[in-house]
Amino acid sequence: METPGLVVHGEAAPFSTALRSLLNNPQYSDVCFVVGQERQEVFAHRCLLACRCNFFQRLLGPKLGSGMPSPVVLSTVPAEAFLAVLEFLYTNSVRLHRHSVAVTFGLGLLQERCIAFIEAHSQEALRTRGFLELSAPALLSLLRSDKLRVDEAELVLAARSWARVGAAVLERPVAEVAAPVVRELRLALLAPAELSALEEQNQREPLIPVEQIVEAWKCHALRRGDAARGAPCRRRRGTLPREHHCFLDLPFK
Q: Between 45 and 77, where is the model more confident?
A: 45
Q: How far apart are CA 103 and CA 124, in angstroms?
A: 17
Q: How far apart are CA 224 and CA 111, in angstroms?
A: 36
What is the pLDDT, as a whole number, of residue 251? 44
The answer to whether the CB of 87 falls within 8 A of the CB of 94 is yes
Provide the CATH topology of domain 12-61+69-95: Potassium Channel Kv1.1; Chain A (3.30.710)
Chain region(s) in the chain for CATH 3.30.710.10:
12-61+69-95
Exposure b/e, 168-201, CB count within 10 A at least 16 = b: eeeeeebbebbeebbebbbbbbbeeebbeebbee
Could you read off the pLDDT of 8-39 as tens digits, one per residue? 888 888 888 899 999 999 988 999 999 888 89
Mean pLDDT of 232-242: 89
Mean pLDDT of 198-222: 92
